[in-house]
Copies of this chain bind each other. A is one copy, B any other.
Amino acid sequence: MTSSTQSRTELYAEVQQFYARQMQLLDGGVFEAYADTFTIDGEFRHTPGREPARGREQIVRELHEFHERFAGDPVQRRHWFNHVNLEPQEDGTIRSTVYALVVTVRPGVKQPIIAPSCVVHDVLVREDGELLNRSRRVEHDQLF
């Protein structure tokens, strides 16, 4: 099903459900399942200036490496999204521009740290009826 035959309404709800599951997987530390929400050759750049991870295996490796910083300092992170702005393209892909805030909670500390503020730039595609990220590029608001 391409964006031209699927209604905007269906697409909008589907992307929100896709993001909800995807980000709960990421924050739950289920990195393999998170990587599976990308295409086989999907690109993921979570930090500006950093080389993107390419393909599911690299994405998983990148996430494990990134999370080593929390090894001796356990945190629960929650990636919040807001204002999902979808722009279906003529080639059937969907540009998605979304605000993001990272909520970081330390054990026993009620007040989380909420930083940084980001903008997520996704290209979504449909393969065998299923939404997937072809790419995700995260920009950080403090770098302007």
Point out residues on A near B: beta carbons under 8 Å: 7-10, 12-14, 16-17, 19-21, 23-24, 74, 76, 78, 80-86, 97-99, 101, 103, 105-117, 140-144
Contact = CB atoms under 8 A, between A and B. Distances in A.
A9 B15 CA distance: 10
A83 B80 contact: yes
A117 B23 CA distance: 15
B144 A74 contact: yes
A114 B116 contact: no
Prevailing SS type, chain A contact patch: mixed
A77 to B, nearest CB: 9
Nearest to A79: B83
Nearest to A83: B20
B116 A112 contact: yes
Given A13-B13, A112-B117, 5 more contacts: A9-B13, A20-B86, A76-B141, A111-B114, A111-B115
